[in-house]
């Protein structure tokens, strides 16, 4: 099969490798689509925690959707033909030699686990989130279900409630998703911060009660005019020390800075001279797959009720043959919303 690799110098290439093996507790999945994510960009730049340069080259991709084509003898939760989320490819020295894995969903095939086939306490965590996509959802657009589940479960983890005031830095698919879901949850005070007028309007369209273009407005002054005592939460959906430091002077006493965007470095210099005396810093860089699985039902309910349209989050589709071009555009900020790589069905 073909897979997308990144080398230690950040160069991408499409390579031929064997189709993955699967056990009696697993199923083989043919990939239909996979989304490009900021995590992929951080891994390409060798900045993602847990992936030292010595572990490269790596198979990329973690937002995959595919169709089950073969099942192991103990599998009861899936059948051939099911559309499923999160088929991955693990490192396998016998098959792939020293090739590492950053989940490996930008491959023509992947593997999922059947949690029902494992003894209690032995279920791989990812198995909880390897769930079936309903038949009425486009399997290509189903990539967005991954982001939606992650974000909704993270909002629940952060403990954001309808009466809270929240500032969201970022205007990519993740930030837009945070704003959309918080709006659906009834959060009344959501301020979005973008870096262009087009992105600012996008945040307003998805439920922000106010939005500012940081290249044109004094964000700190604007927010302090609206909230003289500061806001309850500032959410960094980008992952930069600059945003975290700016957030210091935006939060109220005992306010909280929520970091969901993955920083490009494992160290940062913080300046809390303008922060209140009492504040919190909360990182969530790896959402719980169990919590994601529990969030799935609510996401599907919102879709069925017409409150979420997956296509609203997507701007670009690329066939796998154009994956290198897709990443070039993504890395150069030439994609407005979510970009999805498609494979032959």
User: pLDDT digit string (tens) for 48-102?
Assistant: 988 999 999 999 999 999 999 999 999 999 999 999 999 999 999 999 999 999 9
Instruction: For each of the domains in the chain, give its residue range(s) and CATH number, in order of start.
Output: 2-133+310-342 (3.90.180.10), 147-283 (3.40.50.720)
Question: Distance between CA 136 and CA 132 in Å, rounded?
Answer: 12
Unique residue bearing structure tokens 């951080």? 42
With CA atoms as reference, report the closest residue to 34 among 2, 69, 72, 70.
2
Q: In the predicted model, what is the mean pLDDT of residues 27-36?
A: 98
173 contacts: CB under 8 Å, gap ≥ 6: 37, 144, 147, 313, 337, 338
Give pLDDT, residue 344.
Answer: 83
Q: How far is it, in rounded angstroms, from Cα 340 to Cα 337?
A: 10
pLDDT at 7 over 80: yes
Bridge partners, residue 164, by sequence: none
Calpha distance 68→3 (Å, rounded): 18
Pairing type for strands 279-283 and 251-259 reads parallel
- Is the pLDDT reported for residue 312 higher than 70? yes
Confidence (pLDDT) at 157: 97
Dihedral pair phi/psi, residue 154, rounded to 5°? -70, -40
Angle at 223 between CA 222 and CA 225, to 5 degrees: 65
What gap in Å lies between CA 178 and CA 211, rounded to an integer?
14
Mean pLDDT to the nearest integer, 315-334? 97
Q: Mean pLDDT score of the chain, rounded to an integer?
A: 96
Rg of the chain over Cα atoms, rounded to whole angstroms, equals: 20
107 pLDDT band (50/70/90 cuts)?
very high
Half-sphere exposure (Cβ direction) of 321: Cα atoms closer than 13 Å: 1
In this structure, the strands spanning 231-236 and 165-169 are: parallel
Residues 6 or more apart in contact with residue 23 via CB below 8 angstroms: 72
CB under 8 Å to 167, separation ≥6 — which residues? 191, 192, 193, 223, 231, 233, 234, 235, 247, 250
* Residue 334: pLDDT over 80: yes
pTM: 0.96
What tokens does 132 get? 């079936």
Helix (H, G, I), strand (E, B) or coil at 130: coil
pLDDT-based confidence at residue 122 (cuts at 50, 70, 90) = very high
pLDDT for position 345: 66
SS3 state at 160: coil
Q: Assess contact for 149 and 128: CB atoms under 8 A.
A: no
Phi-psi region of 170 (alpha: psi -120 to 50; beta: other; left: phi over 0): left
Tell me how crowded residue 221 is: count the other CB atoms within 10 A of its CB. Answer: 9
């Amino acid at each position: 099969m073909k897979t997308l690799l990144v080398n230690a110098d950040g160069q991408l290439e499409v390579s031929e490798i064997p189709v993955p093996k699967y056990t009696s507790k697993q199923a083989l999945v043919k990939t239909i689509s996979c989304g490009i994510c900021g995590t992929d960009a951080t891994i390409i730049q060798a900045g993602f925690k847990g992936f030292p340069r010595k572990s490269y080259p790596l198979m990329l991709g973690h937002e995959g959707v595919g169709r089950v084509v073969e099942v192991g003898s103990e599998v009861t939760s899936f059948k051939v033909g099911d559309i499923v989320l999160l088929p991955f490819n693990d490192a396998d020295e016998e098959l792939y030699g020293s090739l590492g894995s950053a989940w490996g969903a930008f491959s023509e095939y992947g593997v999922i686990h059947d949690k029902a086939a494992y003894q209690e306490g032995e279920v791989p965590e990812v198995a909880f989130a390897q769930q079936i996509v309903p038949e009425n959802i486009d399997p290509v657009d189903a990539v967005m279900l991954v982001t939606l589940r992650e974000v909704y479960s993270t909002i629940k983890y952060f403990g954001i409630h309808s009466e809270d005031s929240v500032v969201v830095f970022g205007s990519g698919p993740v930030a837009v998703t945070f704003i959309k879901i918080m709006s659906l949850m009834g959060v009344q005070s959501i301020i979005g911060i973008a870096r262009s007028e087009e992105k600012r309007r996008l945040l307003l369209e998805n439920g922000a009660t106010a939005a500012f273009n940081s290249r044109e407005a004094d964000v700190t002054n604007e927010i302090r005019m609206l909230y003289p005592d500061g806001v309850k939460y500032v959410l960094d959906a980008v992952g930069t020390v600059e945003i975290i430091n700016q957030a210091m002077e935006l939060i109220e006493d005992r306010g909280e800075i929520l970091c969901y965007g993955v920083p490009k470095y494992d160290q940062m210099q913080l300046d809390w001279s303008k922060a209140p005396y009492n504040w919190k810093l909360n990182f969530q860089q790896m959402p719980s797959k169990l919590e994601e699985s529990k969030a799935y039902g609510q996401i599907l309910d919102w879709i069925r009720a017409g409150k979420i349209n997956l296509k609203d989050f997507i701007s670009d589709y690329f066939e796998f043959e154009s994956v290198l071009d897709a990443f070039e555009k993504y890395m150069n900020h030439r994609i407005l919303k979510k970009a999805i790589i498609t494979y032959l069905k």
